[in-house]
Amino acid sequence: MLYQWLYSLADQYSVFNVFRYITVRTFISLFTGFFLCLIWGPYFIEKLRQKHFGQSIRDDGPQTHKKKAGTPTMGGWLILLSTLVPLILWIDLFNPLVIATVVITWGFGLIGYADDYLKVSKKNTKGLSGKLRLLGEFLISGVVLFMLIKFANFSTVLSLPFVKHVSIDLGYFYILLGSLVITGTANAVNLTDGLDGLAIVPVIISAATLGIFAYVTGHASIANYLQIPHIVGAGELTPLAAAMIAGGLGFLWFNTYPAQVFMGDVGSLSLGGFLGTMAVITKNELLMVVLGGVFVVEALSVITQVASFKLTGKRVFKMAPLHHHFELGGLTETKIIVRFWIISILLAALSLATLKLR
């Protein structure tokens, strides 16, 4: 890690002392990741186009989406690769919380890649079976959480948002809850990724909010003042969150309407896995329902639609996920996208407010 070598020079050159501060490394990580993504984005997209990694469009989807067929997909790799350099340069790779977050993020990303590759190679929208995908996600998150609890003394206590001094120690049952939060978040983000820029901005907003949570929970004095759990080493997740935000912003440069590239499942599953893991590690498992409200509502709309059709033969929405319902209702794609962004910002503000309410 470059920052550790630079910090070691602080005895000779006091200016290098700044690299011990998480806040400094957070901002450096942000700008490093963003400009790298911006620089190699066009080359990456062109390579996807040359390999014919184009998006397949659902036959039963909105007709306006037919023109998007063939747009390069798997752009999530652009985000993940953009986080690698800041990760190596500015973040402590030996921190067990960082290792856990990276393993889950990339593990989910590989599952998403397998799904995307099957879709692209077979030119359909099926991909991996849902059961196989969920099995892989639960297995990865479960093993990682078990390792954290067993070898890193990670707390199995569940804290309740909006309530002070109320917590429940779940023991090893925490693995099930944590895996459910991580897997649920990943698949909810995946369902939200249906319009140009719709998913990535709420992801960026959520990552920024969780980055703040990571900083305050990792800082003993602040955590004590706010009466929230203090998690040793959690602060190191803040520059990691900044790297992910940077990759997301760089990706948005190319993904904004009309999109030059889609993130694909490799992006949505890895980013969702990242958010879910951050929520679990910072002890905001239940708060993720509020912070990721846009993702939750999108997922619930699909669940409701499927359940209603199987039980009654009728559909609740014109089409699920919910953004397609609004689209078929006459709202323009850009209006739906921006309104979802606004809701995400408000939910993030509400989530941050719990720091003082707890």
Residue with tokens 């099957």: 118
72 phi/psi in degrees, rounded to 5: -55, 135
Q: Are 314 and 308 in contact (CB under 8 A)?
A: yes
Tokens of 103: 């393993």
Residue 56: predicted pLDDT = 65
pLDDT band at 167 (very low <50, low <70, confident <90, very high): confident
Residues 44-77: pLDDT tens digits? 999 999 987 877 665 555 656 666 677 899 999 9
Quote the CA–CA distance of 62 and 82 in Å, as a whole number.
Answer: 32
CA end-to-end span of the chain: 36
pLDDT band at 124 (very low <50, low <70, confident <90, very high): low
Share of the chain above pLDDT 90, in %: 78
Mapped onto helix, strand or coil, the DSSP state of residue 54 is strand
Contact call for residues 281 and 241 (beta carbons, < 8 A): no
Whole-angstrom distance, CA of residue 91 vs CA of residue 2: 9
Grouping H, G, I as helix, E, B as strand and the rest as coil, residue 169 is strand
Evaluate whether 264 touches 112 at the Cβ level (below 8 Å): yes
pLDDT at 179: 98
Is residue 12's pLDDT more than 80?
A: no
pLDDT at 130: 87
| Number of Cβ atoms within 10 Å of the Cβ of 163 | 11
Among 99, 288, 93, smallest CA distance to 209 is for 288
Residues of the chain by 3-state class (helix, strand, coil), percent to 5: 75, 0, 25
What tokens does 194 get?
């249906």
pLDDT of residue 193: 95
* Cα–Cα distance measured from residue 269 to residue 108, given in angstroms and rounded to the nearest whole number: 6
pTM above 0.85, yes or no: yes
Identify whether the C-beta of residue 230 lies closer than 8 Å to the C-beta of residue 217: yes
Task: Give the angle subtended at the CA of 20 by the CAs of 351 and 277, to the nearest 5°.
Answer: 35
DSSP secondary structure code for residue 198 in this structure: T
Q: Is 21 exposed, middle or buried (0-12, 13-18, 19+ CB in 10 A)?
A: exposed
Confidence of residue 159 (pLDDT cuts 50, 70, 90): confident
Percent of the chain with pLDDT over 70: 91
pLDDT tops 90 at residue 15: no
